[in-house]
Amino acid sequence: MSDMDSLFLRIIERELPADIVRENERVIAIRDINPQAPTHVLVVPKKRYRNAAELAAADPELLAELITVAREIAAQEGIEESGYRLLFNTNEDAGQTIFHVHLHLLGGEPLGGLTGGPLKS
């Protein structure tokens, strides 16, 4: 399977600790251990797909659920009105380092443009 047998699968199975923000039968959301903004939450499907393109092709409803959960967390975190960013890194050149698709929810401060350097995941 690689990717450390998917870091996220190990978190889902409670083999590794994580700060879980939200969880349901299909999705888990955790705080990023290396946050790039005051609010940085990773929204992860429990079923492993390599990247956002693979997820979109296989299960568009699950892709939509990730975005819905992210919006709900943005409201819970108090950043829905001020603004937030949703980001998928897809493959190596985009900075994806864990090949289990995950959506970054970033906010809590002005985020600026997208070219401020690499965002690793």
What residues contact residue 63 under an 8 Å CB cut-off, 6+ apart?
Answer: 52, 55, 56
Structure tokens at 7: 């870091």
Which residues, in sequence order, are bridge partners of residue 60?
none
Which phi and psi angles does 101 have, rounded to 5°?
Answer: -50, 140
DSSP 94: G
Question: Which residue do the tokens 């401020």 mark?
Answer: 116
Q: Is 102 a catalytic residue?
A: yes
The residue from 40, 100, 102, 104 that is catalytic is: 102
The letter for the amino acid at 58 is A
Give dist(CA 16, CA 64) in Å, integer. Answer: 27
Instruction: Give the residue numbers annotated as catalytic, written as ranges.
Output: 102
